[in-house]
Amino acid sequence: MRPRPDRIERLPEQYFTTLLARVVAAGADVIDLGRGNPDVPPPAHVVDALVDSARDGTVAVHGYPPFAGLPEAKEAIAARYASMYGVALDPEREVAFLPGTTTALVELALVLAERGERILLPDPGYPDYNSAVALAGAQRVALPLAEDGRPEWEEALRDGVAAVYLNYPANPAAVAAPAGVFADAIAFAHDTGAAIVHDFAYADLVYDGRRPASFLAEDGAREVGVEMFSLSKSYGMAGWRLGFVVGNADVVARLNLLQEHNRSGIFVPLQRAAIAALTGPQETVEERRALYERRRDRVLAAIPEARCEGTFFVWFPLPHGLTFERLLAQHRVALAPGEGFGERGRGFARLSLATSDDALDAGLERLRQAMAAG
């Protein structure tokens, strides 16, 4: 066989795969607070919708689905955006239905950037954006985030920038969208011609009475960008692989074109389940949010220097000399080491609230002892 093509060679190490392998190799007694895998299952009516649909033996269910998604699914996300964020979307032109945000963030790099162009990524930021940039053959450029999560735009390169990825509530920095951040991003887009991609995977997970802030609610947003929405976190459906890209109609059309060539749609029972999640009772969204907020409060009580305004992660500086390796080897607790999220993450760690209450309490006790020992 010929050597691996460059697009595979240039892929960075997959941060979470490597992290999980290190934690598993360390032994079964390690408490893993590094991983963000939602622990509360989806609402029962969503599971019922999947099963009921799958029992229908017709070709409309088990044959190839409409490539760009069922119109009802796109109408359902549009209705949620109207009711929750006050954003009116045209379901046919401004909504693309994709198998999860991970797929979306890769495909967006493919449809936005020419080979060699730059994509600005938040630092610290979600490591999978690096994979997207690499697959597109684009150049990754760090967009440093200040303490409050605001991009340091004055530091940002402006030439040859095809796209800027932003993410609020932010993983790993756990900040909600600072006031004015989207307006600044739109101004940057107008100045440079870059597209804005806002990752809203943690849309519903904000705390202390904050309201979820959609990029698309900002004036002029859909002229310059799109927002990614995921069912993974709001509805506990990470394994189902369901998400949307909403906003700029040209970008949505490019994604739909790519998916005609590349994926051939989403299994209809999964689409029916997505409709049930988006249009059915929404109480579980608030219950889930409140559960994470209670867990967050327990972490903040144990680690006062920690921060979390949103997401199901807590972000904090590790005491000098206390590394991921030492925590794992000596204290038997795993966190996600900050440097994997970018240079600005060095010296920090990310702790996940998506774990059982018992594991969280036991892990916090180990962490408290480790931090006291220094």
Residues 63-102 that bind ligand PLP (CB under 6 A): 100-102
Binding status of residue 206 toward ligand PLP by CB under 6 A:
no
Least separation in angstroms between CB 354 and ligand PLP: 9
Binding status of residue 130 toward ligand PLP by CB under 6 A:
no
Q: Residue 352's beta-bridge partner residues?
A: 313
Binding status of residue 226 toward ligand PLP by CB under 6 A:
no
> Measured from the CB atom, is 126 or 315 closer to ligand PLP?
126
> Can you tell me which of 94, 107, 123, 199 binds ligand PLP, judged by CB under 6 A?
199
Would you say the C-alpha torsion 332, 336, 340, 344 has a positive or negative sign?
negative
Binding status of residue 127 toward ligand PLP by CB under 6 A:
no
> Measured from the CB atom, is 20 or 61 closer to ligand PLP?
20
Binding status of residue 200 toward ligand PLP by CB under 6 A:
no
Residues 354-373 that bind ligand PLP (CB under 6 A): none
Binding status of residue 269 toward ligand PLP by CB under 6 A:
no
> Measured from the CB atom, is 194 or 238 closer to ligand PLP?
238
> Measured from the CB atom, is 103 or 192 closer to ligand PLP?
103
Residues 101-120 that bind ligand PLP (CB under 6 A): 101-102
> Measured from the CB atom, is 109 or 302 closer to ligand PLP?
109
- Token pair for 242: 């369901």
Least separation in angstroms between CB 320 and ligand PLP: 28
Least separation in angstroms between CB 55 and ligand PLP: 26
Residues 139-168 that bind ligand PLP (CB under 6 A): 167
> Measured from the CB atom, is 131 or 232 closer to ligand PLP?
232
Q: Which residues contact 247 (CB under 8 A, 6 or more apart)?
A: 89, 94, 215, 216, 221, 222, 225, 226, 227
> Measured from the CB atom, is 43 or 122 closer to ligand PLP?
122
> Measured from the CB atom, is 89 or 166 closer to ligand PLP?
166
Binding status of residue 236 toward ligand PLP by CB under 6 A:
no
Query: Where along the sequence are the contacts to ligand PLP (CB under 6 A)?
Result: 36, 100-102, 126, 167, 171, 199, 201, 230, 232, 238, 243
